[in-house]
Structure 1
């Protein structure tokens, strides 16, 4: 059955979205990933706190979500989005389709057992393959582009070693259990798993995600940075 699913907050003892490790926390990052993460967060923070300048030299200084390209595979599914929170799941012959309202992303996942694309073919949302294990749809996704920020997960910049296994289990006519195991040895010291309950809303409407790369927000930030540079240069000449 096809339908629209949104995350909801039920009465549950689950204190964290992360169910493995058991302490509900992300595993430690590798030293290289910690450095990448720190540099990215410093670039997003105020210069007075981070001591970082030239944070808006070009559009490349902004993460992909800030550029309206992608929020990443898990980021688009995560609860906590203040807008565009819906997910539509379609089951059609031979395919499992997931449409995220956040950043209007759609994954068309083959179910015919075909192998993943070659290692040189990579995308922001990866290359997914699905199969049934009883009543659970299991989707394994690989072939991600590197340096994608998994927004909502500490802004971690990931590597091309990323592998995500999602499990969709319908636990009642209007409830869906969503589990995702994330493995990236270039970012974390061990895999971790998160769990999110979704609820069916037949009356939900997916709206346009009215954001695109090079919109006025990004261009205005870059223009503002150039003006600040002009003011600073003029002050130094006095």
Structure 2
């Protein structure tokens, strides 16, 4: 899939995540964001993430099919996901044998929904932050005063969200994932045991710094973090349109005829 390449914002932090991350942290420390009526940081509006990252969240070259782009991974510093040996081999097998779960119109999951090459909308209400996605017409509802998670025995495409405010930053804690989405088209994955914590911090009027830390002892050797910007979409009269993509649509049938299969998640591989 060709997606809009990463670009730098005028007079803002660079788009390359390795350079964006430290720049964004410095800017966030001095930026005073707008506030909602209840005094919380106002994140509302239309936004776009780095769409080329849906090709791969690790560094990848420009090809006939891909725009190419830098790694979103800022920890470890080498920009590589710290897979266990079996999981690194599984990632390669995923790309060779299974269709990207986005292709048959399954939800993009966490945090990939933020960097698919479409517009997202953030809405806020007292005790809730809602994120609407144009891709696959999905959404996240993040309660900011809820109790404990529902429990790991429940497996959800988008996971179970619990939010909290840490100063200017919205922290979204996600568990109860079903392990079936990928991070990207390259087959990078997590299991049902994944615990993902995302932090949303505005650094200027038109940029949100997003940092997502992923912990999954079944797949990785240690926790790791990706970071990227959400840039405000300033198109006039903007609205989200429902994507004509739904589970069971028939455009994927040629891929299955070539032998590709639906990815069942880690537990389904055993």
- TM-score over 0.5 (shorter chain): yes
Give 1:180's match in structure 2, choosing from 205, 212, 218: 212
> Which whole-Å deviations, capped at 9, do the CAs of 1:37-96 have from their partners, x for residues lacking one?
23222215xxxxxxxxxxxxxxxxx442121012221222126x3xxx211111111111
Q: Does 1:205 align with 2:260?
A: no
Task: Provide the rounded CA distance (Å) in 2 between the counterparts of 1:15 and 1:216.
Answer: 33
Q: Does 1:111 align with 2:166?
A: no
Which residue does the alignment assign to 1:127?
160
Q: Which sections of structure 1, spanning at least 5 residues, go unmatched?
A: 45-61, 227-238
Which residue does the alignment assign to 1:235?
none
| Cα distance change of structure 1 residues 8 and 162 upon mapping to structure 2, 3 Å threshold | closer
Q: Does 1:67 align with 2:104?
A: yes
- For the Cα contact (< 8 Å) 2:144–2:163, is it kept in 1? yes
Question: For the aligned residues, what is the CA RMSD?
Answer: 2.4
Over alpha carbons, which structure has the higher Rg?
1
Task: Provide the rounded CA distance (Å) in 1 between the counterparts of 2:113 and 2:47.
Answer: 13
Q: CA deviation at 1:128?
A: 0.8
Q: CA deviation at 1:169?
A: 0.7
> Which whole-Å deviations, capped at 9, do the CAs of 1:162-221 have from their partners, x for residues lacking one?
111101111122221111111112122111111111222243432221111221212354
Which residue does the alignment assign to 1:25?
80
Which residue does the alignment assign to 1:148?
181
Q: CA deviation at 1:123?
A: 0.3
Give 2:91's match in structure 1, choosing from 37, 52, 72: 37
- For the Cα contact (< 8 Å) 1:148–1:159, is it kept in 2? no
Give 1:99's match in structure 2, choosing from 113, 127, 132: 132
Q: Aligned to 1:150, what secondary structure does the other structure show?
A: coil
Q: Which sections of structure 2, spanning at least 5 residues, go unmatched?
A: 1-41, 52-68, 260-270
- For the Cα contact (< 8 Å) 1:76–1:103, is it kept in 2? no
Q: Aligned to 2:123, what secondary structure does the other structure show?
A: strand
Tell me the TM-score normalized by structure 1: 0.74
- For the Cα contact (< 8 Å) 1:17–1:195, is it kept in 2? yes
Q: Does 1:159 align with 2:194?
A: no
Q: Aligned to 1:34, what secondary structure does the other structure show?
A: helix
> Which whole-Å deviations, capped at 9, do the CAs of 1:112-147 have from their partners, x for residues lacking one?
141100222220111010000000000010000134
- For the Cα contact (< 8 Å) 2:48–2:114, is it kept in 1? no
Tell me the TM-score normalized by structure 2: 0.66
Aligned residues: 198
